[in-house]
Structure 1
């Protein structure tokens, strides 16, 4: 799976210029819920995310261990225990997964990774996701803060839950708290990730076989792995 490799490299080119703090990877002790809880205003300590500012949440897989070769958690900005008011928030998650030769199974694997985030529900951390905008708005409860919820705990929750999926080897989670100019660049990358996934789906469905009239032609031309996938599917 190298369809998204260039986008991971582009993502890392922005992230690695920032002064992230690396948090420990290990066990966590936190209650998980089977369905999203509704937190009333008086129960909420603060909210993460701002619909009217640059923020983003997206996920990108690769089979290249040179790109993603171990589990890691990174934080830029204040940890949850130090946040006193509503603040902007972004999250980027990168995966190393098994290489899958069958393009249909590879696509299903990508969709499962994207869908899994809706099933990860830590107690006291109410997530409202917008797949259309690639954003998350989070309400963090006063009880969760009092019990000691941190981004270290959340990062380990994400790593553990994603690695329960077949074929997921490593997970790297980047938490970005506050307003940062480079986030607008990540927003641009997230849109490209969506375009590649759309092109991936388009190719597998054989919606248009004539490249000259396909609206996604430029995306395939930019990404060699998509071109190879396109021709391999057509041969079948």
Structure 2
């Protein structure tokens, strides 16, 4: 299960997130823009407290804020605590975008990564200079760990069709001329197109089956699996996610 919790600023109540997690008891929960305290012993779901069910398995620092960082965190159900290994996190910052990183674990024989890719209203302003950043961030992660599952906030849709529907409603994009619109689309889609055209990764669901996952519209939250090591996993995940939501901004 994956959530961008937006530093809990957009949450009407964190209890909605907690209720969904408790109801479904996922084996792994990935959060983006979670709160990381400077004292690592304090790191936990904040302001959620799910410690009776989950252990903090991995965390990496992203944007710095007073007294804390935004972070990507991976929590694993305590029933798997003996079988999880924390791997070194990866700095995904290429040169001038918002600080990004990937947290990575190995659970049994499966490597799982939690990413928050380039994008969003601040990076969007620099789209001309960030043309291949999502592609390069994913490429760095895959070359380092070759994870079986990549999940998190990709700051964009998977399919070109769904992406264009979302961008056609985006005021910043609509103000661009046709040449710059083409550049923006390339920047926006470079990660999804890289996974589709140059790797064995496939999404566990599509925009139609999962629907809108962001309070701001669109479907930026994804779980990708590789067919190379797990040829059946995508079909199994599709069956699972057709019956329940996997990610939500609140």
Question: TM over 0.5, yes or no?
Answer: no
What is the TM-score normalised by the length of structure 1?
Answer: 0.30
Which structure has greater helix proportion?
1
Structure ranking higher in strand proportion: 2
Determine which structure has greater relative contact order: mean sequence separation of CA pairs < 8 Å that are 6+ residues apart, divided by chain length. Answer: 1
Scaled by the length of structure 2, what TM-score is found?
A: 0.29
